[in-house]
A = this chain, B = another copy of it.
Amino acid sequence: MPMADKAATITDVAARAGVSISTVSAALNGRAGVSEGTRERIKGIAADLGFVPSLRGRSLSAKRSFNVGLIIQRGADVIESDPFFASFIGGAESVLSERGYGLVLQMADTSEKALAHYRQMAAAKRVDGVFLNELEVDDPRVAAVHRLRLPAVAINADPGRFPVPAVRQGFQPGISALLSYLVGMGHRHIAHLAGPTRFLHSCQREQAWRSALAELGLEPGPVVTGDFTFDGGAGAAEAIVAQAVRPTAVVCANDLMAAGFLTRAQDLGLRIPGDISVAGYDGVPLGEYIRPRLTTLKTAPHELAAQASRMLLAVVDGETVTDVEIPPASLVLRESTGRAPTAVR
């Protein structure tokens, strides 16, 4: 008979089974020291009663909240057009829920507010650990979680840079492949539309673009700094189009800026890729919605998050973990890149 009026507690199960609550606890949690007979009997009764251990009792005695925190540090404008977090949350949630963990989410539009949220979450013991995403250069959160002794896993942090384990997805192979392809198509003057310099991944991508060009024996083209938004990309298009010697290709630090660049460039009368090739980074659905479809480097936020979650739970369990690298972002050639214009004026 399921459907008790009040939710059953461990005491109810113990009473019904005629054993102590410690036996029920041991039986249900797979701890040793319970005969198989009583274990099975207790399990049956627990199922009958629809007993699910209350997180309240569990977390107080186990000194765990069974929750893990993610703080999204982005303005509302970016978050709405960037599917990164949707995928990330999906990947995290898939491994967390399997392990009985919940994901608690907070938003912050400034880095200070985000930091305050981390502190608050840790102080109130709302979570057992946190993800450190969108890392900035000299990110204060790293020192903070360290001082708070808050288990944490960093996303896409450079190896050896922070005293926090990290999971990362390589960017160099994909960017090198992209630039080899562009150079193979005759491009010699290749610009970079970078993200804000305070972000680690902005620097990583620009650096990768630079070394790939060096590898190919080319000088870096102009660098324009955007803000990861569509409008930022559009603005960059105007800037680059106005330049005396216009680059024949632009490698953008994310798809959203690439889409803005490509769209505005076309509004200004340029043909893509006839006059200028454009490539993005991320592999978001938007890249297939626009015309021409966007060449990009496809990342895997879902897998990144799944790995990060496994690591974070390990850290929470007190295990020592080592950095994990998932397969690098891969080149997806679509229609926005092509042969360099023959007559560069």
State the A residues within 8 Å of B (CB): 7, 50, 52-57, 59-60, 63, 65-67, 76-77, 79-81, 83, 85-87, 89-90, 93-94, 97, 102-107, 117, 120, 123-126, 230, 259-260, 263, 266-267, 284-286, 288-291, 302
Question: B107 contacts A105, CB within 8 Å?
Answer: no
| Distance from A307 Cβ to chain B, minimum over Cβ atoms (Å) | 17
| Distance from A282 Cβ to chain B, minimum over Cβ atoms (Å) | 11
Which residues from B are CB-within-8-Å of A117? Answer: 97
| Distance from A293 Cβ to chain B, minimum over Cβ atoms (Å) | 10
21 A-B residue contacts at CB 8 Å?
A7-B125, A52-B120, A55-B65, A55-B124, A60-B60, A67-B104, A76-B87, A80-B86, A80-B285, A81-B285, A89-B107, A93-B105, A93-B106, A97-B117, A102-B104, A102-B105, A104-B105, A105-B105, A259-B289, A263-B289, A263-B291
Task: Decide yes or no: A107 and B85 within 8 Å by CB, A56-B125, A260-B289, A286-B286 being known contacts.
Answer: no
Among A56, A59, A90: residue with most chain B CB under 10 A = A56
Question: B107 contacts A104, CB within 8 Å?
Answer: no
Q: How many copies does the complex hold?
A: 2
Task: Decide yes or no: A289 and B230 within 8 Å by CB, A124-B53, A124-B54 being known contacts.
Answer: yes
What is the CA–CA distance of A230 and B285 in the complex, to the nearest angstrom? 9
Which secondary structure dominates chain A's binding surface?
helix
Leading 4 A-B pairs by shortest Cβ distance: A52-B123, A80-B83, A81-B285, A56-B60
What is the CA–CA distance of A90 and B106 in the complex, to the nearest angstrom? 8
What is the CA–CA distance of A238 and B80 in the complex, to the nearest angstrom? 29
| Distance from A335 Cβ to chain B, minimum over Cβ atoms (Å) | 12
Which residues from B are CB-within-8-Å of A59? Answer: 56, 59-60
What is the CA–CA distance of A94 and B109 in the complex, to the nearest angstrom? 11
> Can you add 13 more A-B contacts, CB < 8 Å, to A56-B63, A102-B106?
A7-B123, A54-B125, A55-B65, A76-B302, A79-B87, A80-B285, A93-B107, A102-B104, A104-B104, A266-B291, A267-B291, A290-B290, A291-B291
What is the CA–CA distance of A313 and B60 in the complex, to the nearest angstrom? 24
